[in-house]
Structure 1
Amino acid sequence: MMSSSVNTFLIKVSGLVQGVGFRPFIWRLARAMRLNGIVFNDSEGVTIYLNADEATVERFAQRLGDELPPLARIDRTSTQTVAFVSYDTFEIASSQQGEVSTGCAPDAATCSECRNELFDSSDRRYRYPFINCTNCGPRLSIIRQIPYDREFTTMVAFQQCSECTAEYNDPADRRFHAQPNACKTCGPQVWLEDKLGNRIAAKDAFICLNEAIRAGRIVAIKGLGGFHLACDATNPASVTALRIGKHRPDKAFALMVRDIGVLSRYAQVNTRVSELITGNSAPVVLLDPQPACDRPIADNIAPGQYQLGFMLPYTPVHHLLLEHIDVPLVMTSGNRSGSPQAISNDDAREQLADIADLFLFHDRPIQNRVDDSVVRDIAGRMHYLRRARGYAPASLPLPPGFAKAPDLVALGGELKNTLCLLQSGRAIITQHLGDLEDARTYDQYQATLDLYRNLYQFESDLFVCDLHPEYLSGKFGEQLAGQGKTLLKVQHHHAHLASCLGENAYPIDGKPVLGICLDGTGFGLDETLWGGEFLFGNYQQIRRLAHLQPFPLVGGVKAITEPWRCLYAQLKQALPLEDLQPYQALFPQLASPVCLTFDRMIEKGLSTPMTSSAGRLFDAVAAALGCHADAISYEGQAAIELESLAHQGDPRTPPYVFSITDNLIDPAPFWQALLEDLRLGQRTKADMALAFHKGFSDVLVDMVNQLRTQEDFTTIVLSGGVMQNAILFNALLASLEAQGFDVLTHQQLPANDAGLSFGQALIGAARVLSA
């Protein structure tokens, strides 16, 4: 029987519990239950002391979990009795600078209460573009250092007025310790400029922006984590002008719509999508478009793709912008193609003056660039394509067995880079940083590492990087090693496998699994380029059991941007030269004299590294079926358009056949059949594209079953950028699960290279733990 005597209980809570209104929540809960004690932040999260009996503490803990603030997340809670201390009331105690190392919360979309106040003419913040509270608003984008107090954010320049100060200091108020708290009297302000830098007088800047957009103009808008370029998505001329200005001929534009009602007119929305897109993170979600609508979206929004990326307004600026607009707006990053998104007013003036007709500026500095997150529904599961605003820098718990993992930094890959810090049993993954080939992105990469080491008071000298000798992240690691730091190197696809294992809380001592890792390029243990791999292993080590038949990457990186080179190498390898001649009329490139040069390059091994890349196989098939054979303008374009083509195919179309020899998947039979279908013209290209996807999925499953006779495994991991192909992923997942395999997939991080840093970190930690 429980004791009814009053004791002092110590409750420790860790997770996302700082900067999210957790302490005032505890204050309100304790006072509602008439409990005395204190609550404060510490280096592990939040600490609570309560005077109560056991039954009351149990009720308190239950309500603690059931009534969390919108942005909070509890990872662990512990409760114990301590020496009795009598408290007269319940109070919030201040944390001392230097005590807190839990970083900061992600930026959060405008909450419903702030949105209601924004459009309430009787509210003192009516139409104020920076309205926020503890439950919403900027976090990562404005923080400079810890602790997350106003003086260490870009809000330091704005002195709160008496009314805002009263809110900020009142634990019962929704804006208690909301660091960006402000109003039109004391806070940041917006203004308009033309492309020449002249200020434009306007009674309401947003009405002026609306008029410009309706007139077909392009506007630049300073948002939460960077600038956006916006225009009317139903106006093809405006979209074309934007593409020309950004030097972005083909890559899809993201769209923003006012609300779910407008979204439902343009896209197919289910309950799961609705909850996601209206939630605190408010990502871009790829959706199937509605077949018809009154004002159709321009055809050049997402050329060659069958889905469109939609998001809802997630800041007061966006809500005011779209208040009277009932069609989608293009809302794309404010930059020239290949450059990072502009975050400062001066950078926007320099980068965007030749693109935008009108600029909306404000005077709250953006400290940290944060791109929009992008997710996609595949097989009823949400898959992250880019994890940034709304999600980073939330931490992930480490899998069982990693409790004593050393603190370390994983440096990620070359493309879609992220960094990962392991600290105190958790992994902190940064926001999407982009491709390190751009000098300004590389500078941001180094600055972000400094920021996170500061935010989390991180001191470790242990680093982990990719095995590839030419990755800039790896070269940065070598520089650190030259300064006396310890550097571990991890194979690319091993990191993919480990990342997926870690997301699924697979234990460090779990049985070896089979990983199917399919992507564009990764430096292999044999110093060739891998990308279509069957790996057997765990966090500590892997063995390569099987892979795609390697073929020469003609011209090295040139073959990535010119898919017909991959097609030429595949056909040359699959068929004797004399058998190819009847098909040369199908592919004009094969008659080019440059092919003779390719032959000599292949014969002598000059700039023709061998690769087993599944991504490059998809590129070759795309080239054969007319999807940007000559050149692509963005990474993965040919393969993306191949998936879109396959989406139009007849579901009844039979699959192509591949062969397996000595644990190698050989596409030669497929190429022979495809060429005949192209020559005869009796099968549509859409059916051929779908038949390829089906056949490739079938041979992957056949290989799994063959390997099942050679090794003992029941768990299969699916990872790598090719797994973002919905048609392939759906078919592969269904077939493997139907055969009784436990299939692990990415749930919280992208399957692409953005997940590498987490996998690198786990492998590095596992090696240290097993040493």
Structure 2
Amino acid sequence: MPKTIRITGIVQGVGFRPFIHRLATELKLNGYVRNLGGSEVEIYVEEDDIDLFLELIMRRKPPPARIDEITVLSSRSIGIKGFHIMESGREMKKPSMIPPDFGICEDCLREALNKGDRRYEYAFNSCAWCGPRYSMMFTVPYDRDNTSMRDFPLCDNCLSEYNDPGNLRRFHAEGISCPQCGPVLWLEDERGRVITERPIETAAELIDSGKVVAVKGIGGYHIAALATDDEVVSELRKRKNRPQKPFALMALDLNVASSIVEIEGVEKLLTGPERPIILLKKKRSRVSDLVAPGLNYLGVMLPYSALHYLLLEKTKDKFLIMTSGNLRDLPMCRDEESARRELRGIVDYFLHHNRRIVNRVDDSVLRITNGRITMIRRGRGYAPMWFELPSKLDRPVVALGAELQNAGAIAFDDKVIMTQFIGDTDVYENLLELDRAIKFLAGAYKVELSDALCVVDMHPEYKSRILSEGFRDVLEVQHHHAHLLSVAGERKLKKDRIVGIAVDGIGYGADGTYWGGEVLLIEGGDLRRIGGLKHQPMPGGDLATLYPVRMLIGIMSTFMTDDEICSFLKEKNLYKHLPNEMKEAELALRQARGSIRTSSLGRFLDSVSALLGICYKRTYEGEPAMKLESFAENGRLLDEIEIKGSDVLDTSYLMKSIIESDARKEDLAYTVIYQLGRGLARIALKEENEVVFLSGGAAVNSILVRGIEDELKREKVNLLLNERVPAGDGGIALGQIMAVLMRG
């Protein structure tokens, strides 16, 4: 009896239909293969015996393909002869993954570097196994007509390859093109004058001469500049209003990358199809100290398109700053008009191309946390691949995430599809991006938003909540509750009882105070705080986040008199790091007596960073604590510095101990972070459990994680932390959806 086979996973946009065609022809099967409207593939075969066919599908599938499920159904014969690739259907039988963008494969790069190949130095070379997917999709299924490649009809040579079953990488590969029929590049100066001759070579020469060039890439614009010239880096910081935040680097290949950072153990990740930025330990090199001031790490990625490779190859250094092309806090530019408008004054030249970027996708960022690969930002190469829930939802869900470094999600049945990294949704343009991304995913997966439950963060002032106004049913989920459940969500775990540690900047607590250093117990849908850091005054609210000396004043006010604090600030010259110096310090002291209080681990680490003279002003998210971690890596554990408290860790005592100690600052920094980890773990161990969850923005701090893990190991308790979604607010949406599932 004939069979209909439906395959879900990443099976569109990866050369899967041509692969099935070749395999079925080899086995002399009759039937067809086609894409369907849920990003799945449908195969029909006239033959009854398909065991070998199914076995070979699993064994030989294209490199970027991922098979999640194969369903086989009996069918009626339609009398088809031979095997065919049929026109795509629009119906959705089973949902499947929208393919992410893939980095250029070795074969395509080899062609672009081969003088005898017709695609020599072609910046947009791709095949069935690599190239942009999600960033150029208007809708599903993944056909050329549904992507921005529809603007480029295939030439005779490319059409011949497209129709040739013997062409392994280009037979029915929807995104292919060549210099005769594909997108074109041009260089433009800030006045709009166009340079069409040798645009890549000219751009490289300009960069080498110290100019800054905006480069239109796969998911948006980058800003490219020399990373070895202090004057160039300093000027770029002024133009971009980015005084301290590190710049990412792009290196030509592993050899070049290994000359500036330690790459041992991450080579496959650097060269894989995702091509993320990875934060890696600096080596002594020609990289300017201004690229990542105060940090021991550089964010490095390898080229993920022929365009990037060809540009780097023609520069003298073979590596460049390659940072997001945007105005501060705004979305990355994705078209020529926005680039000209927003990047004028920042860049000197623009390297444009005429392929439309449909979905903005930022580079993904990973780091190594105490030996584990963890995610900081989930974008290109990963989004919008889905996560599977441990059981099915009763209805569709839309999760709006939190506020900073945000991503949203949609969910239906047992699937969660997170948006790519969006950014800070207290910025209107980013809020629009979140709305747009959610609507795209809902449309692709046939999710009726009018039927969906909307989940938001409990914080009443988060701007992401604005998007919930069009929904009939809205559920609030506490911030740290969602953090911990995101750990369960990425592992497909549904536990009746979860013990977890949530550590971050600030989240609105279930008791109306501001949390950020908590040990929590989750039982079913209920959340209980069982311990954490002592709540400390936060003089001036957000000002204490911006100026850590304010937070330090608030903490000192719990164990010192006003006169003692003022004398200490003068003795250490700390008052000079407030905009209005002693007047502001005295105001902060008065505010501390009646200010909001927070148990935030992030804010406590910020205050230690200021006390030790490491960072006095936060110019980007997490800066004081990040610089403290880098500084602490050269330190050792001091036994005399302890943290006291049973259920509540006395951070006032800890701060007093630091102030009174004459130990090396590096040792103090290391000890504080490590002991906070141990203290939180001790509280968690009071609730007998075989595993402890860890999440929140500070959960990527290696020293903190080491302290937690060392303490848990004494009792043979395992630690689980985020690895596939960000531990920070970029993973909150997944946890929000898990909260719906847990409530039943």
Q: TM-score range by the shorter chain?
A: over 0.9
How far residue 578 of structure 1 moved from its aligned partner, in angstroms, is 6.3
Query: Which secondary structure does the structure 2 equivalent of 1:660 belong to?
Result: coil
Kindly report which structure 2 residues correspond to 1:21-170, keeping only aligned pairs within 5 A, or say none.
21-42=15-36, 43=38, 45-50=40-45, 57=51, 59-79=52-72, 88-99=81-92, 102=96, 104-170=98-164
Residues of 1 paired with 2:341 and 2:428: CA distance? 17
1:593 aligns with 2:592: no
SS in 2 for 1:593: helix
Match of 2:544 in 1: 559
Shift in Å, 1:61: 3.0
Q: CA deviation at 1:92?
A: 2.5
1:739-759 CA-partner distances (Å, limit 9, x unpaired): 211322112101000000011
1:582 & 1:602 partners in 2: Cα distance? 17
Q: What CA deviation, in whole Å up to 9, does each residue of 1:426-458 have, x standing for no partner?
A: 110110000012222122122222222222221
CA distance in 2, matches of 1:505, 1:280: 24
Contact 1:498–1:538 (8 Å) recurs in 2? no
Q: Could you tell me whether the CA contact under 8 Å between 1:411 and 1:757 is conserved in 2?
A: yes
What's the counterpart of residue 331 of structure 1?
322
Q: 2:365 maps to which residue?
A: 374
SS of residue matched to 2:222: strand
1:141 alignment partner, SS class: helix
| Deviation, structure 1 residue 109 | 0.7
- Give me the whole-angstrom Cα distance separating, in 2, the residues matched to 1:415 and 1:171: 48
Separation in 2 of the partners of 1:104 and 1:404? 21
Q: Report the alpha carbon displacement of residue 376 of structure 1 after superposing the two structures with TM.
A: 0.7
Measured against aligned partners, the alpha-carbon deviations of 1:393-418 in whole angstroms (never above 9, x if no partner) come to 0111112xx22442111111111111
Q: Cα 1:574–1:65, aligned 2, differ >3 Å: closer, same or farther? A: farther
Residue 333 of structure 2 corresponds to: 342
Could you tell me which of 288, 293, 297 is aligned with 1:307? 297
Distance (whole Å) between structure 2 residues aligned to residue 683 and residue 551 of structure 1: 25
Q: Does the CA-based 8 Å contact 1:305-1:641 persist in structure 2?
A: yes
Contact persistence 1:103–1:148 (CA under 8 A): no
Match runs of 1:638-717 below 5 Å: 638-649=624-635, 651=636, 653-654=638-639, 656-661=641-646, 663-677=647-661, 682-705=662-685, 707-708=686-687, 712-717=688-693
1:536 deviates by 0.6
**Superposed, which structure 2 residues align to 1:275-286 within 5 Å?**
275-286=268-279
The separation in 2 between residues aligned to 1:158 and 1:103, in whole angstroms, is 25
Contact 2:500 2:520 in 1 (8 A): yes
1:616 counterpart residue number: 603
Q: Secondary structure at the match of 1:639?
A: helix
Instruction: State which of 429, 437, 440 in structure 2 corresponds to 1:451.
Output: 440
Contact map agreement 1:259 1:312 (CA 8 A) in 2: yes
Look up the equivalent residue of 1:314 and give its one-letter code: Y
Matches of 2:393 and 2:79 in 1, distance apart?
36
| Cα contact 1:130–1:316 (8 A) shared by 2 | yes
Q: TM-score, normalised by structure 1?
A: 0.91
Question: In 1, Cα distance between the equivalents of 2:165 and 2:417?
Answer: 29
2:467 is aligned to 476
Residues 574, 667 of structure 1: 8 Å contact kept? no
Return the alpha-carbon distance in structure 2 between the equivalents of residues 177 and 529 of structure 1. 55
CA distance in 2, matches of 1:424, 1:169: 38
Shift of 1:695: 1.4
The one-letter code matched in structure 1 to 2:244 is D
- TM-superposed deviation, 1:473: 1.1
| Aligned residue in 1 for 2:353 | 362
- CA drift of 1:66 comes to 2.7
1:408 aligns with 2:402: no
Partner residue in 2 for 1:20: 14
**The 10-residue stretch of structure 1 (204-213 or 594-603) with the greater mean CA deviation from structure 2:** 594-603
Deviation of the 1:26 alpha carbon: 1.8
What is the CA–CA distance in structure 2 between the aligned matches of 1:542 and 1:67, rounded to whole Å?
Answer: 47
CA RMSD of aligned residues (A): 2.1
Secondary structure of 2:416's partner? strand
* Superposition map of 1:525-544 within 5 A: 525-538=510-523, 540-544=525-529
Q: Which runs of 5+ in 2 are unaligned?
A: none
- Deviation string for 1:276-327 (max 9, x for gaps)? 010100000111122x34xx11110100100101000101110110123343
Cα offsets for 1:698-722 (capped at 9, x unmatched): 21222223x23xxx42221000000
Q: Distance in 1 between matches of 2:496 and 2:736?
A: 19
Q: How far apart in 2 are the matches of 1:372 and 1:85?
A: 47
CA offset at residue 239 of structure 1? 0.9
Aligned-partner Cα distance in 2 for 1:208–1:581: 58
Using the alignment, how far apart are the partners of 2:312 and 2:574 within structure 1? 48
Structure 2 counterpart SS, 1:592? helix
CA drift of 1:230 comes to 0.8
Residues 231 and 599 from structure 1, CA distance in 2 versus in 1: closer, same or farther, beyond 3 angstroms? Answer: closer
Distance 2:730 2:191 in 1: 38
**Contact between 2:385 and 2:418, CA under 8 Å: does it hold in 1?**
yes
Match of 1:389 in 2: 380
- One-letter code aligned to 1:736: L
1:190-242 Cα deviation digits (max 9, x unpaired)? 0111111111252x212112211221211111111111111111111111111
Residue 195 of structure 1 is matched in structure 2 by 190
| Contact 1:539-1:762 at 8 Å conserved across structures | no
In structure 1, the partner of 2:312 is 322
Query: 1:389: Cα distance to partner?
Result: 0.5
Counterpart residue type for residue 548 of structure 1: L
The whole-number CA distance in structure 2 between the counterparts of 1:581 and 1:245 is 37
- 1:581: how far off? 6.3
Q: Is the 8 A contact 1:466 1:491 kept in 2?
A: yes
- The percentage of counterpart residues that share the same residue type is 36
Distance 2:430 2:700 in 1: 24
Segment of structure 1 superposing worse, 411-420 or 588-597? 588-597
**Displacement after TM superposition at 1:466 (Å):** 0.7
- Report the 3-state secondary structure (helix = DSSP H, G, I; strand = E; otherwise coil) of the residue aligned with 1:526: coil
How far is 1:53 from its partner? 6.4
Assess if the C-alpha contact under 8 Å between 1:516 and 1:534 holds in 2. yes
CA drift of 1:738 comes to 4.2
Q: Is the 8 A contact 2:387 2:417 kept in 1?
A: yes
Q: Could you tell me which runs of 5 or more consecutive residues in structure 1 were left unpaired when the two chains were aligned.
A: 1-6
Q: Deviations over 1:162-196 (max 9, x none)?
A: 22223334444322333332221122110111111
Relative to 1, partners in 2 of residues 1:487 and 1:47: Cα closer, same or farther, differing over 3 Å?
A: same
What is the CA deviation profile of residues 141-164 of structure 1, one whole-angstrom value per residue up to 9, with x for unaligned ones?
111223322222222222222222
Count of residues in Structure 1 that have an aligned counterpart in Structure 2: 733
Question: Structure 1 660/281 Cα, relative in aligned 2: closer, same or farther at 3 Å?
Answer: same
Give 1:60 shift. 3.3
CA displacement at 1:67 relative to structure 2: 2.4
Q: Which residues in structure 2 correspond to 1:513-532 (within 5 Å)?
A: 513-532=498-517
1:569 maps onto 2:586 in alignment: no
Match of 1:245 in 2: 239
Secondary structure at 1:155's aligned position in 2? helix
Change (3 A) 1:45 1:466: same
Q: Is the 8 A contact 1:109 1:315 kept in 2?
A: yes
1:88-135 deviation line (CA, Å, top 9, x unaligned)? 333233322344754621111111111111111222211111111111
| Separation of aligned partners in 2, 1:119 and 1:596 | 65
Residues 206 and 321 of structure 1 are in contact (CA less than 8 Å); yes or no, is this contact kept in structure 2?
yes
Classify 1:345/1:522 alpha carbon distance in 2 versus 1 (closer, same or farther; 3 Å): same
* CA distance in structure 2 between the partners assigned to 1:652 and 1:490 by the alignment: 38
